[in-house]
Amino acid sequence: MRIETIGIIAAMPQESNALLRLIEPRDRSNLGPYRCYRFRLSDRACWLLTSGMGLQRAAQATRTLMDAASPQLLISVGIAGAINTDLKIGDVVNSTHTCFLDKGGLTGPLQPLARLSQSAWQTAQQVLKLGGATLYAGTAVSTHGGQLAQPQAAQLTNPILEMETTGIAGVAAEKGIPLLSLRAISDGPRAPIPFDLDRMMDEQDNLRIGEILKTILGHPHTLPQLVQMGRNSRKAADNAALALMAALKQPGPVITL
Judge whether residue 160 has pLDDT over 60.
yes
Percent of the chain whose pLDDT exceeds 90: 67
HSE-CB at 157 with a 13 A cutoff on CA atoms is 11
Question: What three-state secondary structure class fits 124?
Answer: helix
List C-alpha distances in Å: 95 to 44, 60, 165: 22, 21, 10
Query: DSSP string of 144-184?
Result: STTPPPPGGGGGSSSEEEESSHHHHHHHHHHHT--EEEEEE
**One-letter amino acid for residue 155 of the chain:** Q
Q: pLDDT digits over 166-214, tens only? A: 999 999 999 999 999 999 999 988 776 655 555 545 555 555 455 555 5
Mind listing the domains of the chain with CATH numbers? 4-256 (3.40.50.1580)
Q: pTM score > 0.85 for this model?
A: yes
Judge whether residue 6 has pLDDT over 60.
yes
Structure confidence at residue 43 (pLDDT): 85
Give the integer Cα–Cα distance in Å for 187 and 185.
Answer: 6
H helix count then E strand count, the chain: 6, 12
Structure confidence at residue 189 (pLDDT): 84
Residues 91-99, mean pLDDT to the nearest whole number: 97
Structure confidence at residue 1 (pLDDT): 38
Structure confidence at residue 101 (pLDDT): 87
